[in-house]
Amino acid sequence: MDFNNPMNWNEDDLEALIENQIEERLDLEYKASDSLLNLTDNRKKEEVGKDVSAMANAQGGIIIYGMTENKQGDGFPGIPKEVDGKLNPREVSKERLENIILSNVTPRISNLQIKTIQLNKIAPENVAYLVSIPQSHIGHQAKDKRYYKRFNFSNIPMDDYEIRDVMNRSRYPLITIKITCDRASTSTLRISLKNEGAIAARNMKLVLYWPPEIQISGHHLEGFQTSGKEKIDGEIYDVYVGYLNTRCLFPDDEAQITNFGKFRFGYKLEKYQNVSSIDPCLDRSLRNALKLKWKIFADDMPPQMGQIDDIYQIPIH
C-alpha cells in the first residue's frame, strides 16, 4: 500500500486498511455509504462539504466513502470495520459527488481528485469513492458560512487566529516529502522533497523519527546528525536531523535530498523472529508495524509532519 499515491489504490488496498487496522487520523477519514445515500436531504450534502473543507483547511488527506468504522463501544473507535458495498454508481456517480463538493465548499479546492474504486469481490456492481484533498493555501468555507478543521478524528469550527493562519499559507513555501527504497539497494531510503507552495524555499531542515528496532548503517549515514531519542505517542524513536541549505527549491520544484549535498540514509532491514522478549522495543516490533515519522521545516513555513505506518511497506523505486 502506497500512501504517497492513493490515486493508485484499488479494492485490495481498502481491504489492507481493514486487515492492518489503519485508524483514522488527521489526513485519513472513513465514511459509510450512507453519507452519500438519499441526497435529497440537504444536510447530507452540507456535511460532505464540511468534511472536505475541514480536510483542506488542515493538512489535506483522504476521505474514503463506502467504508464503515468502529464507533464508541464497538472496539477501538476510528478503526475501519468493513467496505459496505452500498454505493451504486448509477445512483451516486463520481460526477454527482464532485458537484456536491463544488456547491458546498467556497472557494473551490484546486487539485481535488476523486477515484472510483470498483468492488469486484465485495459487490461487483457497486463502488467506493476515494477523495484526495490537497492542503490548501487559502481557507475554505462550508455551506453554513463556517470554517472547519480536522481535529482528533472529527471536524470542528476554527478559531479566528486559525483562519488567519490558513489565509497566510500563500506567504510560505509548502514542502512535501516522498520516501521510497532504492531499487539498487533496498536498505537505502530515497527521499524527495517538493515545494507545492507559492514561495521559494531556501533553508530547510528534515527530521526523521526512526524506530530503534531497525539498525542504522553508520557508514551509509551521510548528511544527517543523530539527535538523541524522542517519545511520540508513547513510543520511543531515534532522531536524525538533516539541514538542506545548499540550493533553493522553487515552487513546483522536486529534488532528491542528494541534490542538497552529500546525503544518504542507510539501514539494516531485517524481520525480527517471532519470539517473545522482555525488551519493550522488540516486543513492539512483534506486536505492531514499525512507523517512520518525519517533520519538515522551511523558512517561515509552519512545520509539516507525516508518517509511514509500516516501514516494511515503503515502496521500491
- C-alpha span between 93 and 91 (Å, rounded): 6
Instruction: Read off the pLDDT of residues 99-115 as tens digits, 9 standing for 90 and up.
Output: 999 999 999 998 899 99
Instruction: Read off the pLDDT of residues 186-207 as tens digits, 9 standing for 90 and up.
Output: 567 788 899 887 789 999 999 9
Beta bridge partners of 154: 151
pLDDT band at 274 (very low <50, low <70, confident <90, very high): very low
Q: What angle do CA 220, 297, 212 make, to 5 degrees?
A: 40
Q: What is the mean predicted confidence (pLDDT) over 24-37?
A: 93
* Other CB atoms within 10 Å distance of the CB of residue 198: 14
Q: What is the mean predicted confidence (pLDDT) over 81-110?
A: 95
Residue carrying C-alpha cell 478543521 = 149
pLDDT value at residue 71: 72
Q: In the chain, where does DSSP find H-type helix?
A: 11-19, 42-57, 94-104, 160-167, 280-287
Query: Of the candidates 131, 128, 132, which has an alpha carbon nearest to the alpha carbon of residue 66?
Result: 128
* Other CB atoms within 10 Å distance of the CB of residue 297: 19
The answer to whether 66 and 32 are in contact (CB under 8 A) is yes
Query: Of the candidates 23, 98, 40, 29, which has an alpha carbon nearest to the alpha carbon of residue 62?
Result: 29
Query: Of the candidates 150, 161, 174, which has an alpha carbon nearest to the alpha carbon of residue 57?
Result: 150
Could you give the 3-state DSSP secondary structure of residue 215?
strand
Query: Would you say residue 216 has pLDDT above 80?
Result: no
pLDDT value at residue 206: 93
pLDDT value at residue 276: 38
Domains and CATH numbers, the chain: 6-170 (3.30.950.30), 172-313 (2.60.40.10)
Q: In 58-142, where does DSSP find H-type helix?
A: 94-104
pLDDT value at residue 297: 94
CA atoms within 13 A on the CB side of 106: 9
Handedness of CA 104, 109, 113, 117 (dihedral sign): negative
Query: Of the candidates 102, 289, 151, which has an alpha carbon nearest to the alpha carbon of residue 211?
Result: 289
Q: What is the mean predicted confidence (pLDDT) over 157-171?
A: 84
- C-alpha span between 141 and 130 (Å, rounded): 21
Query: Would you say residue 144 has pLDDT above 80?
Result: yes
DSSP state of 108: P
Q: What is the mean predicted confidence (pLDDT) over 133-153?
A: 89
* Other CB atoms within 10 Å distance of the CB of residue 220: 15
Query: Would you say residue 185 has pLDDT above 80?
Result: no
- C-alpha span between 245 and 260 (Å, rounded): 7
